[in-house]
Amino acid sequence: MLHREGKATIFISLIVLSALNALVFWLAPNLIWLQNGIILISIVLLGIVLQFFRNPTVQVNVGENFVLSPADGKVVVIEEVEEPEFFKGKRLQVSVFMNPFNVHVNRNPIAGVVKYFKYHPGKYLVAWHPKSSTENERTTTVIEHANGTQVLFRQIAGALAKRICWYVKEGMPVKQGGEMGFIKFGSRVDLFLPLDAKITVELNQVVKGGKTVLAEIN
């Protein structure tokens, strides 16, 4: 299944690649090796675009105390930090980096109500840059669990990601593992958890959105 965010990109890719092939066939009708080469390159490029926008069905690992990974990728940060935007205090940060070959659907880590949402325009530093969390284009979403615990997570654009999509707004109830957004091309997601949260993953661990439990909260 392909994600709806990919429709325009896939359509444009088809038009451009078709035009390129038609041009080669017109300008070089006798160069069969060139024609075959362009066809092969076009198939590979289209395949890359299609795999990027894939949206496989996910059996959500629902758990009342679970904080699920918001995205497929690799854990690149686990540390205690100061969160200045919403909590204005110390929290445990867990960050997941998505490369261009990961599924880029973003999912709600917990069930609850969206208490805060804000979009921040910004730069496009590489997603693993330490300042990407505060200087890149990003969104900040805070979900409040039924027990009052609040979890903040950020979609962060990277050097290739030029568009962040989101489907939440303040006051909206959300389901654990439900789609909250999409980031086009390489990027990352940061989570900020209570200091007493029990982290259940390790650095460099590969995780799956909506399935891998990153932490357990009270």
Residues 180-214: tens digit of each pLDDT: 998 876 688 999 999 999 999 999 999 999 999 99
Quick check: is 95 catalytic? no
Residue 5 amino acid letter: E
> CA torsion angle for 123, 125, 128, 129 (degrees, to 10)?
-90
pLDDT in tens, 28-38: 888 888 889 88
The whole-angstrom separation of Cα 89 and Cα 82 is 5
Average pLDDT, the chain: 88
What does the pLDDT look like over 52-68, one tens digit per residue?
788 888 899 999 999 99
Q: How far apart are CA 203 and CA 215, in angstroms?
A: 13
- Separation of alpha carbons 121 and 109, rounded Å: 23
What is the average per-residue pLDDT within 158-167?
74
Query: Exposed/middle/buried for 67, CB within 10 Å: 0-12, 13-18, 19+?
Result: buried
Rounded Cα distance between 81 and 148, Å, is 21
> According to the model, what pLDDT value does residue 134 have?
62
Residue-wise pLDDT for 78-99, tens only, equals: 999 999 999 999 999 999 998 8
Select which of 95, 132, 133, 187 is catalytic. Answer: 187
Task: Give the H/E segment covering residue 157.
Answer: strand 150-157
What is the pTM for the complete model shown?
A: 0.84
pLDDT at 73: 94
Distance in angstroms (rounded) separating the CA atoms of residues 165 and 45: 23
Report residue 89 as tokens: 């205090």
| 111-137 confidence digits (pLDDT tens) | 999 999 999 986 656 555 555 566 678
For the domain spanning 66-216, the CATH number is 2.70.70.10
- Indicate the burial class of 79 (C-beta count within 10 angstroms; 0-12, 13-18, 19 or more): exposed
Is residue 147 over pLDDT 80? Answer: yes
pLDDT at residue 41 is higher than 60: yes
**Cα 76 from Cα 116, distance rounded (Å):** 25
What would the mean pLDDT of 170-174 be, rounded to a whole number?
96
Tokens linked to 140: 């900040």
